[in-house]
Structure 1
């Protein structure tokens, strides 16, 4: 059973863990390693040069303090310089968890929106997919921005949101990816039920830890087998067909 991890923070693992992930499993064809900031981008680029299976995405994760103008300028300059080695712009998006935790003001939230718009314009200019952190009531705002900037190749990772937004995303041909959480979370199972398989991928978001049968274990791409089993059950399809279609979807979306 072949798999592609469509969203992992590989640079956040220890060197020995990375080696184990990349050399210890023939079933993993590729890993889309997304970035947190400039240093993370540089690390992911190094990993992609060392390991052909690693496909790097460069960006700035929204669940952190805004970069200074100088930091942002350096990041964009570096991304532009290395855009031919970049599979996608990401991870970028809006700071839902910071906002609901009242750790940022609405004024600051507006600046995160401006930051995201810049990334969308660059993704459009560079003809790259965009990897999005956009959940719950942030998702419709991000859909508005995607439509405003005519960005169509959008990947909402570990998506969580309402039925109306799901319908809009399906209509716009946006992709989602589900984590091993699908095994034990009904809300994720419901989204997978309604979302077309041809617009789906699987991911780990590792090293983020999971609960249920994965509790206490290091997040590893092989955990995605359980995601495939659950999707196959939900879609009433064979595990082989689901596995093959998910790999095909990811390869086509990212040009792997």
Structure 2
């Protein structure tokens, strides 16, 4: 199997035996970008990166959870600042599209999420780090507004979903996206891949998030990304080996691996 980089995985959310199997028994993996949910998640990912060279940690606060209070934010930011040398990227950060669609976020709270995202964007610029975003559908243009406001260029929209106008805007700004194994069976994601330049696409699992189609009932494993690559090659009508090499190069360049 060709070498691959998982551009977005939550290693700390796997069972320990699963995590060990993924890291130690996947010779095809060049690297895994292990993103964080909160401070404790950041600490776990840092420890994993110290134990395994192929684990590259990203630190941040996932938006699809209740907002932290001011003290919790301060603790997280101070910890991230103390460990910015070990940090591959700021992430996962963004906006709570799914919580908001379930009416679990008030307009006032959403404003606070926006403020927190802007704070992370400022830090990414200050620390000269890439930023990994959870911002889909209606939230993506708002994220773009903030990124443009602060002239942020090294941007990764993971598992992106959105309209054509936003896609055109992201392409013009040079932002990267990544696709999960659902590109094999989801027409929506296939259409995004068709529209987006291959030079700005990476592959990911977002594991341990489970998938449907041919992956139903299976533990999400980076090996599944090989099927993603085959599907991208089919959509782009180019050789599979070319796609393997390009998406790996994209991740290497973006994350400075």
1:130 aligns with 2:131: yes
Find the counterpart in structure 1 of residue 177 from structure 2. Answer: 176
Query: Aligned Cα RMSD in Å?
Result: 0.4
Offset at residue 25 of structure 1 (A): 1.4
- Note the 1:233-252 alignment, pairs <5 A: 233-252=234-253
Report Cα offsets for 1:81-101 as digits up to 9, x if no partner.
000000000000000001111
- Whole-angstrom CA distance in 2 between matches of 1:106 and 1:196: 35
TM-score normalised per structure 2 = 0.99
Q: CA deviation at 1:19?
A: 1.1
Match of 2:98 in 1: 97
Q: Deviations over 1:23-54 (max 9, x none)?
A: 11111110000000000000000000001000
Please list every run of at least 4 consecutive aligned residues from structure 1 whose deviation after the TM superposition is greater than 2 angstroms. Answer: none
Q: Name the CA distance, whole Å, in 1 between partners of 2:7 and 2:74.
A: 27
Report the alpha carbon displacement of residue 136 of structure 1 after superposing the two structures with TM: 0.2
Matching residue of 2:193: 192
Matched, 1:21 2:22: yes
Q: CA deviation at 1:2?
A: 1.0
The separation in 1 between residues aligned to 2:124 and 2:241, in whole angstroms, is: 33
Partner Cα separation in structure 1 for residue 236 and residue 84 of structure 2: 37
SS in 2 for 1:217: coil
Q: Is 1:160 the equivalent of 2:166?
A: no
**What secondary structure, in the 3-state scheme, does the structure 1 residue paired with 2:58 have?**
strand
Equivalent residue runs for 1:73-112 within 5 Å: 73-112=74-113
- 1:58 corresponding residue in structure 2: 59
Aligned residue for 1:85, secondary structure, equals coil
Q: How many residues align?
A: 256
Matches of 1:72 and 1:126 in 2, distance apart?
17
In 1, the alpha carbon distance for the partners of 2:256 and 2:212 equals 32
- For normalisation by structure 1, the TM-score amounts to 0.99
Aligned to 1:121: 122
Distance 1:108 1:16 in 2: 38
Instruction: Report the 3-state secondary structure (helix = DSSP H, G, I; strand = E; otherwise coil) of the residue aligned with 2:139.
Output: helix
Q: Which residue of 2 aligns with 1:215?
A: 216
